[in-house]
Structure 1
Amino acid sequence: MKTMGFTQKIILGLLLALGLATMAQANVGGPAWDKAPNKTNDMGALQNGAKIFVNYCLNCHSAAFMRYNRLTDIGLTEQQIKDNLLVTNTKIGDTMKAAIDPQQAKAWFGVNPPDLTVIARSRAGAGGSGADYLYTYMRSFYKDETKPTGWNNMLFPNVAMPHVLWQLQGERRPIFETLTEHGNAVEVFKGWEQLKPGSMTAQQYDQTVGDLVSYLQWMGEPVQNTRVRVGIWVLLFLGVFSVLTWRLNAAYWKDIK
C-alpha cells in the first residue's frame, strides 16, 4: 500500500478543516453579516450615533478611552455636549464611564459588559469588518422568554445582553426552514416575523443602527479619515517624486553611457 506523502497529508488536513467549518456554519444556520453603511464622514450621522450611544449604551458599557470633549471632532460644540450628552456631575474632559456599578452588572448579567471604545475594531472576522458584525448583531435580537433577559440574538446565541433598542425595533422572532443535507436535517434561517411594532419602521431602525455603528467605528479610531486623506497625498507625492527621480537619473547617466 502506498504511503501518503507529507504534502498530501497537509492538503487533506486543510480540506477536512474547511469541510468541518462549512458544516458548522450550516448547522448554525444564522444570518450572514450584513454590510454596514460607512458614514464616518457624515457629521450628522456621527452626532446621532453619539446620542444613541449615550442614551442607550452608556448605561451599562463604558468607553474608557474616549473623552467627551473629543466629540468636538464630529462637529459638536462643548456647550452642545454639556447640554445634551453629559449627565449628573460629569465634566466635559471626563472619559465616558458607564452609569452602572460593575458589581451590579455582574450580578444581573453574569459578566461585566465590555468596554466599547475599540469594539468596532476588535470584532472583525471572516464574515466581514467589525462594523459589519455590530450592524448585524444589533439587528439580530429576538424575543426569547426562556432567557433571563427575555431576549436572544441570532448572531450571538445565549448573549447576556438584553435588546436595549427594542422599543425602537419592536419584537420579532426568527423563521427557520428545515432542509435535508447529506441525510441530516438542518435548520436554515429564512427571515423575521414582526410580533409587535416598534416606534420606528424597519428602514428607520436600520438607519439608526447604521449611525450608531458608524459612531462606534469612528470612536475606535477618530483619526482614521485623516489618516486616509494624508495617505492619499503621501502616495501622490511619492508618485510625482519617483517620476522626477527617474528623469533625473536618466539625465545624469545620459553622457556616461
Structure 2
Amino acid sequence: MKKLIVLMSLFVPLWASAAGGNVHLDEAPIDLTDKASLQRGAQIYMNYCSGCHSMKYQRYSRTFNDLGIPEELGEEYLQFTGDKVTDYMKRAMPEEGAATWFGAAPPDLTLVARVRGGDWLYTYLRTFYVDDERPFGVNNKVFPEVGMPHVLQPLQGTPRETYEEVMVDGEQVKRYAGIQSDGDGALSPEEYDQAIGDLVNFLEYTGEPFRLQSEKIGKWVLVFILVLFVFVFLLKKDYWREVH
C-alpha cells in the first residue's frame, strides 16, 4: 500500500501540469492528413517561434518533404538562419543570450506536443491576457506567471480578461467570462483560432513524423495477424485430431 501511495505521488505533478491549474482545455483541431493546415502551421512556427525555440530533432528537408513543400520554396520563405536544408531546425537566438534575456533558455519544441498534449497547447496559446505586473506585460490562464512574451499578439490583438455580472445567493458578483481581443490584431478571433489550430497541428506532426505511416502499417499488421491466426487455428485442429 505504501509503495502504491509513493507511486501515485510521483504522478501528481504531471497531472497538475497537464490540467494547467484546473483550466478547461479546449479540443485542438488535429488532422495530420490536412497538409494545407500543416503548411500554414509551419509558416507560423518559422515566422513567430523559430527565433527563440529550436526543433533539434527535426530536419528542414524532412519537414518540407512530408508537408509537400518544394525545397527551393522552403529555403526561400521558411529558413531564416542560413542553415542547409539538411540541417536540424535550430533557433536564431544565440544560446548564450537566451538564458540571460528570459531567465531560462526557451525549450526545444520538437516533442512539446507529446509532452504537453495538443489540447494543452491549443488552449495555452489562446489564453494569454494583459497583466501589467508581469515582466512582459502578459500572463496566461493555463500556465500562470509564464515567462514567455505573447509573440502572436500582432495576429490576435491585445487580449484582456472579461467578466460578467451574475447573481449568487441573491448577490451580484463578477464571474470570469473569458478572454477577448480588442480587435487591433491582423486576424479576427475565428481566424486566430484557426491559425493556432494550424500551429498546434504542425507541432503534433513534429512530435511523431512517422505517425501516419505507423498507423497505416499497424493496420496491415493486424490484418496479417488475423489471417495467420486462422491458419494456426486450423493447423492446431488438424494436428490434435490425430492425437485424440
**Identity over aligned residues, as a percent?**
41
Instruction: Name the SS of the counterpart of 1:158 in structure 2.
Output: coil
Q: Structure 1 residues 250 and 178, CA, compared in 2 at 3 Å: closer, same or farther?
A: farther
Residue 32 of structure 2 corresponds to residue 45 of structure 1: no
Q: How many residues align?
A: 228
Please list, as runs of the form range in 1=range in 2, the aligned pairs for 1:71-110 lying within 5 A after superposition.
71=63, 72-110=65-103
CA distance in 2, matches of 1:82, 1:193: 36
Task: State the shift of 1:251 in Å.
Answer: 2.5
Please list, as runs of the form range in 1=range in 2, the aligned pairs for 1:118-137 lying within 5 A after superposition.
118-123=111-116, 130-137=117-124
What TM-score comes out, normalization by structure 2 length? 0.83
User: Pick from 63, 67, 74: which aligns with 2:55?
Assistant: 63
- Structure 2 unaligned residues grouped into runs of 5+: none
Instruction: Name the SS of the counterpart of 2:231 in structure 1.
Output: helix
1:165-198 deviations in Å (ceiling 9; x for gaps)? 111111122235799x9xxxx9964322333442
Residue 160 of structure 2 corresponds to residue 168 of structure 1: no
Q: Structure 1 residues 256 and 188, CA, compared in 2 at 3 Å: closer, same or farther?
A: farther
Task: State the shift of 1:231 in Å.
Answer: 0.9
Residue 154 of structure 2 corresponds to residue 190 of structure 1: no
Q: Are 1:39 and 1:211, in contact at CA under 8 Å, matched by a contact in 2?
A: no
CA distance in 2, matches of 1:177, 1:200: 25
CA distance in 1, matches of 2:152, 2:238: 67
Q: Structure 1 residues 88 and 61, CA, compared in 2 at 3 Å: closer, same or farther?
A: closer
What TM-score comes out, normalization by structure 1 length? 0.79
Please list, as runs of the form range in 1=range in 2, the aligned pairs for 1:133-152 lying within 5 A after superposition.
133-152=120-139
Please list, as runs of the form range in 1=range in 2, the aligned pairs for 1:153-232 lying within 5 A after superposition.
153-176=140-163, 189-232=176-219
What is the aligned-residue RMSD (CA, Å)?
3.0
1:201-220 deviations in Å (ceiling 9; x for gaps)? 21211111111111111111
Task: State the shift of 1:87 in Å.
Answer: 2.0
Task: State the shift of 1:252 in Å.
Answer: 2.7
Instruction: Name the SS of the counterpart of 2:58 in structure 1.
Output: strand
Please list, as runs of the form range in 1=range in 2, the aligned pairs for 1:231-246 lying within 5 A after superposition.
231-246=218-233
Q: Structure 1 residues 246 and 208, CA, compared in 2 at 3 Å: closer, same or farther?
A: same
